Each structure stands twice: as structure tokens, then as C-alpha cells.
Structure 1
């Protein structure tokens, strides 16, 4: 007979999902395990020999995380549904004459080691690490991500430049779907039909009860001339934007391999790199520091380069943080697509101006 010694919660983060531990009475020497995507699409089928302590430990973290993919939100949509980032799995463990079936929902990311009430967290919190009060710029990519347990409406409450207050809807989020709402300030201005001083974002249910709490964004005009904009997938499965206003050093690196052939030195290979060394400038709050650490650890980072968000990779970065002091950091990154290493040539003038 089979029994469960330890199992995950009904909803889990892929990188912190606990092992499934099965106990058997040892009468049978073999246990069968199947994992299905949904209820019927079997993706893994294995057989296990019973160990001397009559326990089987099934490590789910790497297995289930492989089938999850959280793609960047679509700028053209007010609400983006991340269908592949949150999925249901059915696990069936059986021996002769006895079967255990368990269903789990898994989201790509990592919150904290269980036990922890993840369902409560999803019901009440945005899956974002940006500060509760932030500055935003005109064309900044800006999203809030949530996994509501019931249908909710995203509300924007704004104080306009003329002092008027407006409350509008920015779309509806479905129940049990991972979704991101597009809060690009220029789009918000279009929805509000005017420029704002700041706006608050929150969600309400069909009874008009507050579900996801307030995030406030103050409008700060256009970017600083040294600003660089990064969009990244955070550890909670949400999409956050980081605007960094420190110095940016651009390095074009060209390493050539040569050989001497018949008294001539020739090139036979080259390694061309476009590398950026970005300084954060001083960080004023602990929230900014935590978001920066999360950005560096992210596995999906994008950089606004020549007007387009392009994927980047970061080199090994050491973050020295002195508690109680005003800290700044620097990191090195490169474009993931090496074709982007070659600079734009620019357009030739159509005519000459002779004075």
C-alpha cells in the first residue's frame, strides 16, 4: 500500500517546489510514476525499484520547470496572458492494486522555501519587486503582473496635471491565469485623455472589494540623457522595469587570431564584442537595492537598444554592499544576439547644403 509522506502545496513555484515523497509497505518491489501536462498528456513515465527504507523521492523542481516558459508581455495589448508560465500537472503513482493521483499547479519562479501560504500570496499581491512608490518616464516599459484567484478589474486612479482626479479601468484579468497589465505612461495618458502628476494602480473584484493593493507612479517626464532601460523577469514570475541613470561605458572589443602562412601573417578568425559597463549611481532605498539584486539574478533580461527591447547577457558581477551607507554598483552586459554588435551605418544625406 502507498502513502504520501511529503508533498507540495496545490500551487507552487517551479524553483522552490518540494519533493514528493512516497512510502510503501514493501510488499511490491516496483512503483510506477507518470506525470501528465493537464490530465491526459503524459510527458514522463518511469518505474522505480523500492529502496531499503521503502521510500521513493520524486524531485519535481527540474522536471516541471522544464515545461514552463514566461515570455515578455506584448506591448500592443493592455493585458497579456502568459499561458506557458503557469500550468497544471497530474502525477500518478501506483503499485499493484493501489494508485495515488495528485494535481499541482506550477508557476515559473521562486518565492521562498515551503511551508508558506502561496495561495494567499497570489490572491493579494502583485508579483513585482519594484517599489510601492516609483518615478516613471514617458516611454518607459512598465508592467504589473498578477495571478488572481478570481476575475478582477484593473483600476487606475490618477491625479491629473490640472489637479483633477480620474478613475478609469485598464482592463480585466481572468481567474487563475498569470497576466501582466501594460502601464506604459504614454498609454496611460491616452486612457486618461491627458497628462497626469501620478497614478495609483489596484484591482477590485465584482463586489468592488480591493484585491491587489496600490502601486503609485509619479510622472518624471522624459529620460535623463544617461538613462538606460531594462525589462526583466523577476523571481516571482512578474515583469519589472529598471531605469538606471548612472554612467554607461561602451566598449567595442575585437580579438583577432592570426597565423603566418608563406611569410605572410593572415587573419583566420575573430571575436567581435560590444560590451557595456553600466553604473547604477547611488541607490537611495533598500527596495531599490533588492530590485537590483533580483535584476542581476534574472535569467531573462532585456535592454532598450536603438528603440527596441533586445535580450542581453551579463558577465560575472560582484556586488559589494555596505550596510548603513549609500551604495552604488556597476555591472557588465552584452547583447545576446551578436549581430547587434555591428553599429548602425546611418543614412547618407539626400543632398548637399552649400553655403
Structure 2
């Protein structure tokens, strides 16, 4: 006879997925994990003590199976592989116990918690208070709405006028990221944009909480943009305004051939050391820590998001002191070790 003492809820985060705790009067228990009709894993357990429950953890396995791709050039990117439905089966000689559950790649807090309420009412982003964004900064909001949502934006202009626009739509029960960059909002009017608020409506009822963005000028000589996959399964971005230092290095091997030393197998790297600038608030600090802990980071270089690898990311915080952080990273694409080639501009001849 089976006794299931714990199992995942209807909606879960992969890293904090509750374990399956099983007790059985039989000497053999089989556990299966399925993704749709595909069997992911099957394991057979022979409990050494029938009074001691089995504790089976699938969190790390499922987290490795899930992937969230970076936002595309489309207004809305759907992450089908970052949010999946799984089924587990527990089988002994007496009976079979089966449950289906859904998983988002990431974590919030230790479960059980009301993740359904969180995803139905809030964006899956670290920043929740009003935040400053630059005019050219990539800005994204990620959601897993319980129903179809219309994304609205309230714009405020420098002359004091206001306007409301429909920015896009999100479909129910899919993990998706919508591009809400300031330049997209500026295109909706010829007036100078100074602030905008993004939110989701189900009919006329507020469904996804309001997120306020304050628009600031972008200086390409100072500001660097970084995007990362946060712990909630979404994408956040931040600006680092401190000093930047690039080191170009070519590590080669040398072989002696016919009395000549010949280089081969060169490894080209471009290492960038970037200072965050002064940490301005608790929310800014939270975002820097989440960036440091992320496994999927991007630097906005030459008009595109480039994957980066950060060396030993750390955020040192001294209480009652002005703080800043240094990050050292390389580009995943080794060809980006080369500086881009300047090209003569092409002018339209009329």
C-alpha cells in the first residue's frame, strides 16, 4: 500500500520544487517522471526499512531540462521550454499514484507558497518599485498570466500631457517576455517622453501590477547595458555607469618544426572589467546581486545582446558606506575578442 506524504503543487519553481515523499508496505517502489508522453526517468527503489519514507528530489534534474532563450526581436517572446508540464507516477505491487504539475525554471522562495497568485498578479521581474531607464536601454517584463491579457502603457510627456496606448497582448498559461523599452514608447508620440507605466488588463480589470519607468538621457560614452535571466524566470536589465577597461589577449602554443618555432592553437579573449557605478538604492543592490547569481547574462554591444561569462562575480556591501561593484567578463563568442571594424557611412544619393 502506498502513502504519499508530500509532492509538488499545481505550479512550482524548479529549484524549490518540493520533494516526493513516499511510504509503502511493499519491498519495491518504482517512480517515473514524464514530460507529456515522453518518459524522462524511471527508477526502482528497494527500501531498506519499510517504516522509513523515501524522499525523492527531481528539482535539479528538471531545472537542467528547462531552458529559457533570450528575448527575440519580436515584441513578445514565448518561452515554451522554460515552463513545462510534468507527470510523476509512484508504483508498487498494490497501486499506482499519479499527479501532474507545472514548473517554471528558477526559484522564488522555499515552497509551499502561493505561486499561482504571484504569477497571476505580478510581473516576474526583480524590480517592483519605480526605476530609471535610459532612452536606448533594453527593458523587458516577463509574465505567466492566468488569462489572456492586454498590455497597456500610460505615457507622461515633458509638457505635462498624458496618453494611454495598447502596447501588445499576452496569452494565458504561457511564460512570455514583452519588450517595453523606452524608445518603443517614444515612437508612439512626437512629444518628449519622461515617464511611462506598463500594466496588464483582463477586460477592464487590472491583472498585472503597474510598473513605472522614469526615462533618462543615454550617454554612450558612460552607460553600458546588461540583461540577465533572473531567478523568477524572467529578464531584467540594468545600467552600469562606472569605468570600463578592456584587455585583449591571445594565448598561443608554440611548436618547434624544422628548427623554427611556430605558433598554433591561439585562443583569443577580450576581458572587460566594468564598474557598476555607485549603488543607488536597495532595489539597485538587489538587481546587482541577482545579476551576479544568474547563469544567463548578456552585454549590449554594437546594437545587439551578446552572451557573456562573468569571472567570480561578487557583490561586496559595506553598511553605512557608499558602495560600488566591479565585474570582469568575457564574451562567449570568441570573434567578439576583435574590436569591430569601422566602415565608411553610406549616404543615400537622390
Please provide the CA RMSD for this pair. Answer: 2.0
TM-score by structure 1 length? 0.91
How far did residue 2 of structure 1 move? 0.5
Aligned equivalent of 1:88: 85
Any residues of structure 2 matched to 1:30-49 within 5 Å, and which? 30-38=28-36, 40-49=37-46
Distance between the aligned counterparts of 1:346 and 1:90, measured in 2? 54
Aligned equivalent of 1:50: 47
* Farther-moved stretch of structure 1 (81-90 vs 111-120): 111-120
Aligned equivalent of 1:212: 208
Indicate conservation of the 8 Å contact 1:131/1:288, yes or no: no
Indicate conservation of the 8 Å contact 2:2/2:94, yes or no: no
How far did residue 7 of structure 1 move? 1.6
Aligned equivalent of 2:192: 195
- Output one character per residue of 1:2-38: Cα deviation in whole Å (capped at 9) or x when no partner: 011122221111111121111112xx22112221113
How far did residue 294 of structure 1 move? 0.4
Q: Does 1:182 align with 2:179?
A: yes
Distance between the aligned counterparts of 1:288 and 1:281, measured in 2? 11
Aligned equivalent of 1:289: 285
Aligned equivalent of 1:302: 298
Indicate conservation of the 8 Å contact 2:85/2:101, yes or no: yes
Aligned equivalent of 1:115: 112
Indicate conservation of the 8 Å contact 2:288/2:315, yes or no: no
Aligned equivalent of 1:14: 14
Indicate conservation of the 8 Å contact 1:166/1:192, yes or no: no
Any residues of structure 2 matched to 1:87-236 within 5 Å, and which? 87-130=84-127, 132-192=129-189, 194-206=191-203, 208-236=204-232
- Output one character per residue of 1:218-259: Cα deviation in whole Å (capped at 9) or x when no partner: 121333512111111001011111111111101112233335
Q: Unaligned stretches of 5+ in structure 1?
A: 351-355
Distance between the aligned counterparts of 2:41 and 2:208, measured in 1? 37
Any residues of structure 2 matched to 1:326-345 within 5 Å, and which? 326-345=322-341
Indicate conservation of the 8 Å contact 2:18/2:112, yes or no: no
Indicate conservation of the 8 Å contact 1:153/1:173, yes or no: yes
How far did residue 185 of structure 1 move? 1.5
Distance between the aligned counterparts of 2:339 and 2:92, measured in 1? 62
Aligned length: 345
- Output one character per residue of 1:306-353: Cα deviation in whole Å (capped at 9) or x when no partner: 221110000013322101221001010000011221223434799xxx
TM-score by structure 2 length? 0.92
Distance between the aligned counterparts of 1:238 and 1:71, measured in 2? 10
How far did residue 62 of structure 1 move? 1.7
Distance between the aligned counterparts of 2:261 and 2:123, measured in 1? 60
Indicate conservation of the 8 Å contact 2:148/2:170, yes or no: yes
Q: Unaligned stretches of 5+ in structure 2?
A: none
